[in-house]
Structure 1
């Protein structure tokens, strides 16, 4: 099953790139040149590789959040709000406390995780206790977070020059470290990439090696069967949404205290919604999500370089990503294609064997 999922993801990427090549031809661009500069933009040198990793980091965590909820039978579309509220909690903590960097940074990260977990646990409770669909409640939580940040930032943390953004975080409150930036030649990569990889490994371990993970997956596969087996399904729904929210909150902490050092109001983080695409392409597998987010990171960073080099519109890269997700979502079609390919291979092998047997008989 896992092997088929990987094949389907690779097929989705190849078909999406093929569709992008056709679009470039129609628009009068050279696809080979376009893709050359698209991937060079994200991988040309150490600085660009570092920027790709930094860009992929919040996508890795929001994709992991959506994937974890998928695995447990839930659709966490509240990742943007959880990320925004977690990031706000981190920004507020970093601007309020005056502590050494070695103490303040872990506090900032933990507060962001806690903020996201709180924002995720509300839809979980509503789902478990009142059967309110998590899609509806989590979308509402997105906008509550949006307007709360819209009000709180100008009121308590207004920037020195613009009312639409917060004060700048002090260096002691950010995830940026000079030694890591120097390794990647001035990139804005930060400690968040290590936190994201650790999160991937932890979620993989929970889902595949623990009793809790087994119960969460069982409840997602068949809720009534899990209840009949004596599993605490309602409690697990709350735990699942809390963990998913915590992952998005960590994404917010990294985005606003690592990739940036301010928070703008009136902006819903796009990484939250893009996490759905990352989870789909990664087949809701933690390791698949990690590689999927890195691929999207390359496209995000490279599209500007492609535009500057050969004038291919950056919107075309967005179209390619959307097409890839479309193919990834059509898993039934992919299954049929894979089955036909396997059948063709098997029939061909049988024909060769039959021919060999006839030659031997003669």
Structure 2
């Protein structure tokens, strides 16, 4: 009898387990997107397996055929983590806003504002490393929180849609920062801002260990700690409960006595703070300068990461790792396989597309599971 109960579609049983659907459904969506991506690569006359292996090699997950002097798989992986750090912060920023029913599409602008203010106040100072590095984190967090808080205030006080205000602020910050860089802080050779001091930088660039040179990201430790903190806030605190309640139903929250306006502003301040940390680890970590009139794509890619990770901090850790592999490994895949690096963006887009179909996949799986259970019940009743 027990054997007969186990009969049925294994895939439906696997995806239909409610306790683990938060994990199994996204993994299924990723698998489907990679299969569709493989079809695209086959149409281009390329081996999909080689392409995916190249992505892993370019990210330091698998070894390359050969390396330049001072480089190895380990140095590539440290570089990957350096690039991964701002993505974690940016994705958490999007997730916090989404949990409260808000859409922070201005993460890139908040990153740039935080990165620029921190650069000119701390990055160009003569402060020693023990003072400069913590100050970089504090200043960037404060600037990001102020910009995010402004968006939340405009939403609460004047009912200005946060998508509109954050997009407009993106443009304002982009061109204002570009103006000041080009007129006061530009490097005449690179046409970017002057490089920040090594004492203020959150990446220990060119650190020699044995025969290898590493770019050691200090921010990755803070990023993992912040993941745990955000997870704890949403799961175990009154603040987290109120933010989620406001995101689920503002009218019901207001009726229950939850201050909706206050929580909206607070959510955007926390979201902006995390975006500020992303800006610090990007402009004073992974990079050491700012390109004028250009917004980082990290803030926009973070939207895909947050959706794929179901706005769950732990899920975001995994989804950001995957998206960063595709982004970081695309250059090596392009040079090794002879395909455009933009194919990586196509794969990322496919992952986002199937991740967006999450509710539909869940509905179909639950329906199939229900039908399967009914068939098994009828079979047992006949026997």
Larger helix proportion of the pair: 1
TM-score, reference length from structure 2? 0.87
Corresponding residue for residue 47 of structure 2: 30
Asked if residue 200 in structure 1 is aligned to residue 223 in structure 2, the reply is: no
Indicate if the aligned counterparts of 2:207 and 2:216 stay in contact, CA closer than 8 A: yes
TM-score, reference length from structure 1? 0.92
For the residues of structure 2 that align with 1:71 and 1:288, how far apart are their CA atoms?
A: 14
Corresponding residue for residue 73 of structure 1: 101
Which digits, 9 at most, give the CA deviation of each residue in 1:320-351, with x for residues without a partner?
Answer: 11001001112232112322453465357547
Which digits, 9 at most, give the CA deviation of each residue in 1:132-189, with x for residues without a partner?
Answer: 1111111111111101111111233222534x31111111111123697749953434
Q: Residues 184 and 205 (structure 1 numbering): CA distance in 2 closer, same or farther, change over 3 Å?
A: farther
Asked if residue 188 in structure 1 is aligned to residue 215 in structure 2, the reply is: yes
Q: Residues 99 and 310 (structure 1 numbering): CA distance in 2 closer, same or farther, change over 3 Å?
A: same
1:263-274 alignment, distance < 5 Å: 263-274=290-301
For the residues of structure 1 that align with 2:215 and 2:379, how far apart are their CA atoms?
A: 56
Secondary structure of the structure 2 residue equivalent to 1:58? helix
1:154-233 alignment, distance < 5 Å: 154-162=182-190, 164-177=191-204, 182=209, 185-233=212-260
Corresponding residue for residue 10 of structure 1: 27
Indicate if the aligned counterparts of 2:124 and 2:196 stay in contact, CA closer than 8 A: no
Q: How many residue pairs get matched?
A: 355
- After the TM superposition, which of the residue ranges 210-219 and 49-58 deviates more from structure 2? 49-58
Corresponding residue for residue 280 of structure 1: 307
Corresponding residue for residue 21 of structure 1: 38
Secondary structure of the structure 1 residue equivalent to 2:213? coil
Q: CA deviation at 1:46?
A: 1.4
Unaligned runs of 5+ in 2: 1-17, 63-72
Q: Residues 352 and 50 (structure 1 numbering): CA distance in 2 closer, same or farther, change over 3 Å?
A: farther
Indicate if the aligned counterparts of 2:206 and 2:215 stay in contact, CA closer than 8 A: no
Corresponding residue for residue 309 of structure 1: 336
Q: Residues 339 and 181 (structure 1 numbering): CA distance in 2 closer, same or farther, change over 3 Å?
A: farther
For the residues of structure 2 that align with 1:187 and 1:329, how far apart are their CA atoms?
A: 37
Q: Residues 247 and 180 (structure 1 numbering): CA distance in 2 closer, same or farther, change over 3 Å?
A: farther
For the residues of structure 1 that align with 2:326 and 2:141, how far apart are their CA atoms?
A: 27
Which digits, 9 at most, give the CA deviation of each residue in 1:178-203, with x for residues without a partner?
Answer: 69774995343411111211111111
Secondary structure of the structure 1 residue equivalent to 2:203? coil
Corresponding residue for residue 337 of structure 1: 364
Indicate if the aligned counterparts of 1:49 and 1:184 stay in contact, CA closer than 8 A: no
Corresponding residue for residue 130 of structure 1: 158
For the residues of structure 1 that align with 2:189 and 2:245, how far apart are their CA atoms?
A: 52
Q: CA deviation at 1:282?
A: 0.4
Q: Residues 350 and 309 (structure 1 numbering): CA distance in 2 closer, same or farther, change over 3 Å?
A: farther
Which of these residues, 23, 41, 58, is aligned with residue 58 of structure 2?
41
Corresponding residue for residue 300 of structure 1: 327
Indicate if the aligned counterparts of 1:56 and 1:296 stay in contact, CA closer than 8 A: no
Q: CA deviation at 1:59?
A: 1.2
